[in-house]
Chain A
Amino acid sequence: AAGVIQSPRHLIKEKRETATLKCYPIPRHDTVYWYQQGPGQDPQFLISFYEKMQSDKGSIPDRFSAQQFSDYHSELNMSSLELGDSALYFCASSSGLAGRSSTDTQYFGPGTRLTVL
C-alpha cells in the first residue's frame, strides 16, 4: 500500500539559512499534519491542514510557515534556521472520507532529518 512520502530524507543547513520540506500524503487522504521530534523526545505537533485550509496550529515558530496545495501535498518552509531546529520532522496524513466514525488514524511518513550547523 502507498505510504506518506517525504523529501528530502536528510538535510544539512547552516544557521540562518532556509529549508523547505515536502510531504506527499497517502492517495485520497485530505488532511496533512506536521510534527517535530527532537532527540529522545516525543513528537510535537506543529500545524495541520484539511482540504487545503489550516486546521489546527501548535507550537510552530513564526519563522516557519506551511501550506497545502491543490494536489494535497504540503510544504513546510523554515527560515532563519537555528541550531535548536535540528530534529526529525514528520508529516502524517489521514482521510476524512469516512467521516468522524472512522478511526482518523494519522499515518506517518519516514521523516526528514534536519541538521543545522
Chain B
Amino acid sequence: ELKVEQNPLFLSMQEGKNYTIYCNYSTTSDRLYWYRQDPGKSLESLFVLLSNGAVKQEGRLMASLDTKARLSTLHITAAVHDLSATYFCAVDMQGGRGSRLTFGEGTQLTVNP
C-alpha cells in the first residue's frame, strides 16, 4: 500500500525566512503533485513533477523530485504572509487513466509578520 508522508506537519515561520517541506513516498512513482489549500477552500494545483530530477519554480516556491530517493521537496524562499496555507503533496502510483492521487497528511504553514 502506498504511503505518503510529509514533514513537518506544522510550520510557523517569520516573513523573509526560507524553509523546506519534505514529502516521502513508499513505492515507485514518477508523477508527483503539489497542491495548496486555504481553510475550507478547494485544492489549487501548484506543481506537477513528472521525472527524476524535475525542478519547477513559481514565485517564492520551488519543487523538486528525486524518484530514486522517493522524495520531493517544496522550498519556500523569503516567505510572505500570503503563503500561509496547507500544502499537500500527492502521488499517482498507477499512472493509468483516472488513477487516484494518494495525498500526504499536509503541512500547515503559518507565516508571521
User: Which residues of A line the B interface, CB within 8 A?
Assistant: 31, 33, 35, 41-45, 48-50, 55-56, 58, 88, 90, 92, 96, 100, 103-111, 113
Contact = CB atoms under 8 A, between A and B. Distances in A.
Interface in B58-96: 88, 92, 94-96
B55 interface: no
B101 A106 contact: yes
B interface, over-half SS:
loop
A100 B33 CA distance: 15
A103 B50 contact: yes
Interface centre among B31, B43, B92 (most CB of A within 10 A): B43
A31 B98 contact: yes
A56 B104 CA distance: 19
Interface in B2-54: 31, 33, 35, 40-45, 48, 50
Contact of A100 (B41, B95, B100, B102): B95
In the complex, which range does the number of interface residues on chain B fall in?
Answer: 20 to 34
Nearest to A39: B40
Interface of B: 31, 33, 35, 40-45, 48, 50, 88, 92, 94-106
A110 B88 contact: no
A33 B100 contact: yes
B7 to A, nearest CB: 14
Nearest to A57: B100
Contact of A111 (B42, B44, B97): B42
Contacts of A113: 40
B100 A45 contact: yes
A110 B42 contact: yes
B97 A55 contact: yes
Given A55-B98, A58-B100, A113-B40, 15 more contacts: A42-B104, A44-B103, A48-B99, A48-B100, A50-B97, A50-B98, A55-B96, A55-B99, A56-B96, A88-B40, A100-B95, A104-B92, A105-B33, A106-B45, A108-B44
